[in-house]
Amino acid sequence: MASFSQSLYVLALFAVLALWNSRVTMSRKLVELEAWSPKRHEQWMVEHGKYYKDVAEKEKRYQIFKENVEFIESFNANNKNLTFKLGVNQFADQTFEEFKASSLNGKKGSLGLMGMEEIKTPFRYENVTDIPETIDWRKRGAVTPIKDQKDCGSCWAFATVATVESIHQISTGKLESLSEQELVDCVRGKSGGCNGGFMEDAFKFIAKKGGIASEAKYPYKHVDRTCNSKKKEPVASIKGYEKVPKNNEKALLKAVANQPVGVDIEAGQKAFQFYSGGVFAGKCGTKTDHDVAVVGYGSTEDGTKYWIVKNSWGKNWGENGYMRMKRDIKSNKGLCGLAMNPLYPVAFA
């Protein structure tokens, strides 16, 4: 028979356990509260150098921030077996509508290729058979550091410049950062600076003018300004451009094996906005609204094939500014339409 003191001992043990348990619950609650105090937003503001004009604006941004963080956390929790993750980045205080309006291809770009004249070009890599398993033009010194288009729909200028910087390095051995602002200010036709534009117009402009100025001489201002091209000496030139046959990732592979290529994609979705790493394979359509440069390809240890994509949203987004996008998907249009309209500049021989 258990003694009275033994019973007391057991009771005391229970009491201690119960107390401990309630403390754990309490501290868990505290952690949750802590997570959702405006402190978390303030820390993020410091990290990203954000300022708001008044208290009302800060409160509004805090609510958007909170919703976005909740979206990101529940996406990651509910999609554990996806090949990519989302993260809280510099876009976390923007609504999806604001993000689409400021960081993609402006209003004109979102019209896609509608109304663009279909120009057929030769494809010089048609018969290429020497295609390495992987290629990363960054490792070959042909890619400049990640840039940031900021709140200007000038992705088309950044994608154009990225491919011209690369072909210039591949053909001359010199890596030179080139001017997006010159394209924003001077390329017209169907293109309109921060309102969006087309890589085709930009390649034509560079070829016709006989080159493009350096980033240093014609720096980026993220607004449309008066064209100041005549006074800026070109430092890199191209003969023209060619298109990769449409809807053909095999043809795209042949091209990227030889030089970085500009592509149109649909990036207007939240998983894209908050992509933080891995091989992106999110659901996206083919209503192209953004331009990027494909600077390589490869596959993961488990055999997932990907393209290496250089974006123009700064180094805080994605994998230090880059995204790996799933390659060789079922649709011949490529993930997010990336195989629909790839094109690349042609160097002077």
Q: Which residues bind ligand NAG (CB under 6 A)?
A: 81, 124, 126-127
Residue among 178 and 281 whose Cβ is closer to ligand NAG: 281
Min separation Cβ 301 and ligand NAG, Å: 17
Min separation Cβ 125 and ligand NAG, Å: 7
Task: Give the whole-angstrom CA distance, residue 82 versus residue 326.
Answer: 12
Catalytic residue from among 248, 311, 336, 341: 311
CA dihedral for 315, 319, 325, 327, sign (positive or negative):
positive
Helices H / strands E in the chain, number of each: 10, 9
Min separation Cβ 79 and ligand NAG, Å: 6
Min separation Cβ 76 and ligand NAG, Å: 12
Min separation Cβ 137 and ligand NAG, Å: 22
* Residue 311 annotated as catalytic: yes
Residue among 5 and 127 whose Cβ is closer to ligand NAG: 127
* Residue 222 annotated as catalytic: no
Residue among 184 and 281 whose Cβ is closer to ligand NAG: 281
Across 210-223, b (16+ Cβ under 10 Å) vs e yields ebbbbbebbebeee
Catalytic residue from among 155, 194, 284, 336: 155
Residue 34 has which token pair?
A: 């802590």
Residue among 253 and 267 whose Cβ is closer to ligand NAG: 253
Are 252 and 259 contacting, i.e. CB atoms less than 8 angstroms apart?
no
Catalytic residue from among 41, 105, 290, 336: 290
Residue among 102 and 304 whose Cβ is closer to ligand NAG: 304
Residue 136 has which token pair?
A: 């990363």
* Residue 336 annotated as catalytic: no
Count how many Cα atoms sit within 13 Å of the Cα of residue 106 in the half-sphere of its side chain. Answer: 22
Task: Please give the backbone phi and psi of residue 310, each rounded to the nearest 5 degrees, phi first.
Answer: -90, 120
Task: Please give the backbone phi and psi of residue 280, each rounded to the nearest 5 degrees, phi first.
Answer: -65, 130
**Active-site annotation, residues:** 155, 290, 311
